[in-house]
Structure formats: C-alpha cells, structure tokens
Amino acid sequence: MSTNLTSLVDKAQLAADAVVGAIGQDSAIVISTADGFDLAHAGARAAEPARLAAMMSSFAAVGAAASEEAAIGVPRCLVVESTQGRLVVRCMQVAGESIVTMLLTDKSVLLGLAWNQLTMLERTLAQQ
C-alpha cells in the first residue's frame, strides 16, 4: 500500500464512523481502494467488508468501462436498488488515489441522503 493510502486509513475510519452516525446503525459503509482492498469500514449491518470491497471495486470498474463505452465521462455514482435495501457506490479521487466507497442502507433511507453523506465524506477525505 502506498504512503498516500496508509495516511488515509485513519481519516477514512473517522469519516466512515461519521456517516454511519448520521444515517443510523442499520447501515454500513466500506471505503476501499480501486483494486478492492478495504481501508475502513463502519456500521452494525451484517456484511463482510473485505468481500464487499472486492465486489464494489469490480462493480465500479465495470461501471467505468460502460461509461467509457457510452462516452459519458467518468462515473461518479452507481446504485444497486434492491427489494430490501440499497447499495450506493461512489467513485472518488483522494490525494491522487482512486477510492471506492460503498454505503449500504435499508429502504427507509432516502437516496438523496445517502448521496449527500457520500459527498460530505469525499470532501472530508480531500481535506489536508
């Protein structure tokens, strides 16, 4: 892991805790590298961070390939809307590193709230 990523770990953990604090314990967040290693995670919802990190990196990469194919630029957000919950994936650049963040919520959480929290998390991570 590069120095940039190592220095991000603590900051990512604080930011992850803050998001779960704002949305509720019935959510989960995993912050990972673009190649599928989890840097930080929070939340009581049953989910294995390492596996989710790998899956989300694949998901984000396929999304990026599809965006490129469709000539719509670089993907910012991907959403899996399921019957009992939602996965919101945000692709971000932090300190020159590609980061994939996944927020897992139930259906009661508004999509706009999830997006807002992920945007705030990106700003937090980007602050020096």
Min dist CB 22 to another protein, Å, is 28
Rounded to an integer, what distance in angstroms lies between the CA atom of residue 80 and that of residue 1? 29
**What backbone phi and psi angles, to 5 degrees, belong to 87?**
-115, 120
Min dist CB 70 to another protein, Å, is 12
Token couple for 56 = 């989300």
Q: Based on the number of CB atoms within 10 Å of its own CB, is 42 exposed (0-12), middle (13-18) or buried (19 or more)? A: buried
Min dist CB 110 to another protein, Å, is 29
Binding site for another protein (CB under 8 A): 1-2, 5, 33-37, 50-51, 54-55, 57-62, 64-65, 69, 98
Residue with Cβ nearer another protein (2 or 7):
2
Residue with Cβ nearer another protein (54 or 111):
54
Residue with Cβ nearer another protein (3 or 108):
3
Residue with Cβ nearer another protein (20 or 31):
31
Token couple for 89 = 């994936």
Q: Tell me the residue length of the chain.
A: 128
